[in-house]
Structure 1
Amino acid sequence: MSNINRVRNGGFEQSTPPSVAPFWTGSAGAVTETGGSQLLEDNNALLPVGDSIEQPLLPLQLLQIYKFEAAFDTSALTGTIDIEISGHSVRKFQGLNVTGLYTFYNFTFTATAANVTLKITNNTDSDVRIDAVSVKLA
């Protein structure tokens, strides 16, 4: 059995710029970009300062360990890229530490509910580009 990505449209390839849909919803400034700023394939998401994207994940298996992974690109000097699962903050990546074009970040977590929502918020002082988002069994 393959290890299914619980994030749908994690590379934003199903999105028609500038919309982050389908599957993702975003705050007012969150958009999908195309044409040179992506890591993989044709699209990436862009989150201006203070904006976020979110989506309900495909169902998780209770008490199983999952790995979140995403590629971020920013020139931020302060602040964090915040990851929430169903309203609970699970990780804050320091914007200053995101170096180079697209750096992959990951962490593991234990599923405490089957139906959860993933949210990514830009709380840095600069735009954040996101690509290749996944949540898979660790």
Structure 2
Amino acid sequence: MRVGHNGAMAARIVRVLLLMLTGLFVVVACGTSDDTSTGQSGAAAGSLAPGTVVIDVRTPEEYAAGHLQGARNIDVSSPTFVEMISTLPTDDPYVVYCRTGNRSAQAVAIMRSQGFTDVTDAGGIDEAQASTGLQVQSE
């Protein structure tokens, strides 16, 4: 390692560590059926607590093709994702889903890092539909 590359090497190490932590979070989140933010079992939920905001973190095209009733579309792959979620109250309850559960896990990790305190990763749209009882609708 050359001395001139210390900053670049440190940045690379930080990125790798963040990716590893995100991966660890996904593994831990997928390995349990309990929602630790509410204490309810995901399988037993079937409905949402009053005031819960449902967020679909897929692309606008995916959202338009079919989304859960009442869900807000905030694309996690958008460069303005953090800016968009920063307008939301951090202490409201949120349920986040995507197509398969990968992007929702990323979005939940970001939201928690931004101070959100009651965020549930509902996984993919099929899992989210089953756990919330909401119907899929298209625009």
The answer to whether TM tops 0.5 is no
Greater RCO structure (CA 8 Å; 6+ sep): 1
TM-score (norm 1): 0.28
TM-score (norm 2): 0.28
Greater helix share, 1 or 2? Answer: 2
Greater strand share, 1 or 2? Answer: 1
